[in-house]
Amino acid sequence: MSKKLQVAIVGATGYAGFELARLLLRHSKVEQPLFLSREREPITLDEIYPQIYGEGNFPLETFRFEVLKDKGVELLFMATQHELSRQMIPEALKHGVRVVDLSGAWRLKNAENRAVYKFEDEHPAQAAKWDAAAVYGLPELHRKEIATAQLVANPGCYATSVIVALAPLVKAGLVDTEHGIVCDAKSGVSGAGKKPTQKTHFVEAADNLSAYSVFGHRHTGEILEQVGLRAEELIFTPHLLPIPRGILSTMYLRLKKSSTATEIESVLREFYKGEKFVRVFKAGTLPQIQYSVHTNFCDVGFSLADDGKRLIVVSCLDNLVKGAAGQALQNMNVMYGWSEQEGLN
């Protein structure tokens, strides 16, 4: 029997981090992960999340690079704040560890897009090196590069939902991008992370729907770079839904020439032919959050106006799975040459 992979997670106490822990604990090719914390945690992971109580011993250990070496860790998952990932990952990479980072620290190639994070790098030249080397972790677009990467930047949840829907149509030259693309996206509250804020407080979020980060959301740059759009060609507005998890993104497009629903569906199906985690719905059937929640699927559907030029595309996914932990696991499977469905069925 081949040796199992030893992995570690920094940030397993967060929503995305725990979702990743839960998936990895059931992965047949992975040893029980190490759960690491920047702070001394005198408790176990199952004390925070009793969902896994009785399945084993899950101590939270203090993070040290020596621990990675002593335990034979080959792959490190970072489910931490952007600034912390930006600070810690270069050192991990110097130790020869491969990294899948769930934060936004390394997703963006364009410095103007990256400026939204306001990073203050202690070693700018080193940071620039890894900015260039990091691979954007959307397997449906970058599978070949992910397979050999040392650093994979897991995409943002909103960005995944929008990129998967738009990329085939824009790359096929069907979309009149000069007319502009409007994306109206809505996410469950877990997308804001575990740390409570006034906006995510139950009293504020329940029975409510609110827009936020208008013309300034951090995932906008990812969409621009991965789809190949200019800033003036996209309006992206996120909204907070009063549900725990799930994303629904609605994109309003104008086509360059009149097309048929059969042509649009054919472009989408050909682009995602053989893909295990993108489901293209037949023309006129639109995805709903309830169809993809708790799965690693990104569902895509569309409706075409009678004039054949106005197109609405809808995509749905679970922000904690395909939008975070599930995609991170999918990336790991690609990196080690395993079936992408391993641990995700």
Name the residues annotated as catalytic: 157
Q: What is 85-143 written as a DSSP string? A: HHHHHHHHHHTT-EEEE-SSTT----HHHHGGG----SSHHHHHHHHHH-EE--HHHHH
The 3-state DSSP class for residue 188 equals: coil
**Type and span of the H or E element at 17:** helix 15-24
Spatial separation of the C-alpha atoms in residues 103 and 284, rounded to whole Å? 35
Spatial separation of the C-alpha atoms in residues 16 and 104, rounded to whole Å? 13
Residue pair 256/153 in contact (Cβ under 8 Å)? The answer is no
Spatial separation of the C-alpha atoms in residues 161 and 111, rounded to whole Å? 23
Q: What phi and psi values does residue 118 have, to the nearest 5 degrees?
A: 55, 45
